[in-house]
Amino acid sequence: MKFTAFVFIVFVVGVMASPVLIRATVVKHSVGEADVTCTATELSTCAVPMTTGIPPSTECCTKLKEQQPCFCTYIKDPKYSQYVGSPNAKKTLATCGVPYPTC
Contact 35, 64 (CB under 8 A): no
Segment 58-100, tens digit of pLDDT: 999 999 999 999 999 998 999 888 888 899 999 999 999 999 9
Segment 26-48, tens digit of pLDDT: 434 444 445 678 888 889 999 99
CA dist., res. 46 & res. 13, Å (int): 9
CA dist., res. 3 & res. 65, Å (int): 32
What CATH fold (topology level) applies to the domain 3-96?
Hydrophobic Seed Protein (1.10.110)
